[in-house]
Amino acid sequence: MEQIELVNTTKILDVKNACLDGSRFICAGLERIYFENVSFAGTIITDANLSNLEIDGAQLGGAYIHNIGMPPEGHPNYHPEAKQNPIRFENCNLEGSEITNCNLTDLQINDCNVDGMKINGVLVSELLREYEKSINA
């Protein structure tokens, strides 16, 4: 297997039918990169700016997404007035998934199947039933 090292350079790569398994990108600009029909199994992305990232038609089973948002206080890129752009999930199967210790302020859930969904151990369907009872009383 050939190893190519690109250091302190600017290039546009047109890669087709290639295996780049085990490649590393460190302190690299990769804006406006287009991936189609690729496998990122086992990939780790850390300390990255993924603003306006779009993932379409992907299988994310077993994915572990954590520490997402603006850099925290003490981080070199922290800015106290910076605001997080909203994240949108659409047509996703999150069955059996878990959301833990997340800021869901102003989160909207629309037209979703919430059967069995719990918030802090309480069934959402029960909360909705109680809410409907209270507004119809």
> By three-state DSSP, how is residue 26 classified?
coil
DSSP strands (E only) in the chain: 118-119, 122-123
Q: Is the pTM of this model over 0.95?
A: no
> By three-state DSSP, how is residue 119 classified?
strand
What pLDDT tens digit does each residue of the chain (137 aa) get?
889 999 999 999 999 999 999 999 999 999 999 999 999 999 999 888 888 899 999 988 899 999 888 888 998 888 999 888 888 999 999 999 999 999 899 999 999 999 999 999 999 999 999 999 999 98
Pair 78, 71: CB distance under 8 Å = yes
Rounded to 5, what percent of the chain is helix, strand, coil?
10, 5, 90
> By three-state DSSP, how is residue 131 classified?
helix
How far apart, in whole angstroms, are the C-alpha atoms of residue 40 and residue 132? Answer: 44
Amino acid found at 92: C
